[in-house]
């Protein structure tokens, strides 16, 4: 369902939920002290999930800008999508979960500087992971929510898109595409850095943007685009540039499947858009379960418990916090009537590991 409750008949909800669970599964291995499973021996499942998120996000947020190219309203919409859920999980972790599981007395806990530091997550631009005395016996001691680090990266992508829009480049898609090609060539051929996540994930975000800007062209003959990118990707892979090959394929495959309306799959969001909630609640839920049952608890049972508990948290987050917050979009000043914009019905994509 979208922000107002209407049914969306595309596959994006399904893709986002799958991406969120890929992150959950990958983290379940890491939090048990096990190596994370790799996708085609190239990246963890969690990283794959993140790249899916950023690709979808670029496509849909570009669409949002084209629908209403107004800087203040654009920022307000992004804040209403990101901040309420993040604020809720931060406050619940700090004020409810932390005191329950911390080894410190509650007075010491409340006066510990790590608590104040953790609350800086409310700023969105900076992420803190540790609470005092929390999960001390876990494989990752004191780590409360290791998934949140991509949220500032996502926000910076929004700001970059805002700049591109405000200077008028969104009206010149070819310039945006040429810019993406230039930055991509520089990153993969000149200065590859697997630790430069902002740059890496940003390329997938703007690949999604370009797929939106050129949608009327490639959607008419998608097979040609797949063939061209497939040949380029195969060449990159054979030359040892697997990262570039994935960049060429992941965004287009994700978006092409997302805009489709597949039976059963298209109904993935009928109980609510829970992908963001799954993403932001999974890590603390997994850490809490491991704190309760111990690291020797059977892996699959732990994974199942974490998936169920996280889904419940995500359901509550959507219906009690995220959806009411998104309802505030209706109070934003309306854009003047103008030329209709071709869109895909869907709420904005979620940030994601």
State percent of the chain over pLDDT 90: 82
Q: CA gyration radius for the chain?
A: 21
**pLDDT tens digits, residue range 75-105?**
999 999 999 999 999 999 999 999 999 999 9
CB atoms < 10 A from the CB of 155, how many?
Answer: 17
Alpha carbon distance 294, 298 (integer Å): 10
pLDDT for 344: 63
**pLDDT tens digits, residue range 230-241?**
999 999 988 888
Alpha carbon distance 311, 271 (integer Å): 11
Total count of residues recorded for the chain: 353
Alpha carbon distance 189, 263 (integer Å): 41
* 1 has a pLDDT exceeding 50: no
* 348 has a pLDDT exceeding 60: no
Over residues 185-203, the mean pLDDT reads 91
* 331 has a pLDDT exceeding 90: no
* 6 has a pLDDT exceeding 80: no
The 10 Å CB-count burial string (b at 16+, else e) for 217-250 is: ebeeeeeebbeebeeebeebbeeebbbbbbbbbb
Over residues 46-64, the mean pLDDT reads 97
**pLDDT tens digits, residue range 113-143?**
999 999 999 999 889 999 999 999 999 999 9
Which residue has 């876990």 as its token pair? Answer: 138
**pLDDT tens digits, residue range 242-270?**
899 999 999 999 999 999 999 999 999 88
pLDDT for 340: 59
Considering the chain, what is the average pLDDT of its residues? 91
CB-count burial class (<10 Å; 0-12, 13-18, 19+) for 163: exposed
CB-count burial class (<10 Å; 0-12, 13-18, 19+) for 125: exposed
pLDDT for 336: 60
Which residue has 């902002």 as its token pair? Answer: 198
pLDDT for 353: 40
**pLDDT tens digits, residue range 267-284?**
998 888 999 999 999 999
């Amino acid at each position: 369902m979208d922000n107002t409750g209407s049914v969306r008949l595309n596959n994006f909800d399904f893709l986002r939920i799958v991406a969120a669970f890929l992150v959950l599964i990958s983290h379940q291995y890491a939090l048990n002290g096990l190596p994370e499973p790799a996708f085609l021996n190239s990246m963890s499942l969690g990283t794959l999930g993140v790249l899916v998120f950023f690709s979808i996000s670029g496509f849909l947020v570009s669409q949002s800008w084209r629908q209403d190219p107004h800087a203040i309203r654009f920022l307000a919409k992004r804040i209403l999508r990101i901040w309420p859920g993040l604020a809720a999980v931060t406050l619940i972790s700090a004020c409810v979960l932390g005191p329950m599981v911390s080894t410190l007395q509650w007075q010491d806990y409340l006066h510990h500087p790590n608590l104040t530091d953790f609350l800086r997550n409310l700023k969105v631009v900076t992420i803190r992971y540790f609470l005092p005395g929390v999960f001390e016996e876990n494989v990752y001691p004191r780590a409360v929510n290791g998934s949140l680090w991509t949220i500032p990266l996502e926000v910076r992508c929004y700001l970059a898109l805002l700049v591109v829009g405000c200077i008028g480049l969104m009206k010149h898609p070819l310039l945006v595409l040429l810019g993406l090609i230039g930055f991509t060539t520089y990153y993969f051929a000149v200065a590859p850095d697997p630790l430069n996540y902002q740059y890496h994930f940003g390329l997938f975000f703007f690949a999604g943007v370009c797929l939106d800007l050129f949608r009327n062209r490639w959607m008419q003959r998608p097979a040609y685009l797949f063939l061209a990118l497939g040949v380029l990707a195969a060449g990159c892979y054979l030359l040892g540039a697997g990262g570039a090959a994935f960049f060429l394929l992941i965004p287009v495959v994700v978006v092409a499947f997302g805009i489709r309306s597949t039976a059963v799959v298209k109904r993935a969001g009928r109980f609510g858009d829970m992908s963001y909630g799954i993403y932001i609640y999974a890590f603390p839920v997994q850490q809490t379960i491991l704190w309760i049952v111990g690291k020797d608890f059977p892996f699959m049972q732990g994974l199942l418990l974490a998936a169920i508990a996280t889904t419940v948290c995500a359901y509550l987050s959507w219906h009690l916090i995220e959806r009411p917050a998104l309802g505030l979009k209706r109070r934003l000043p309306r854009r003047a009537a103008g030329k209709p914009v071709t869109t895909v019905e869907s709420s904005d994509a979620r940030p994601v590991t």
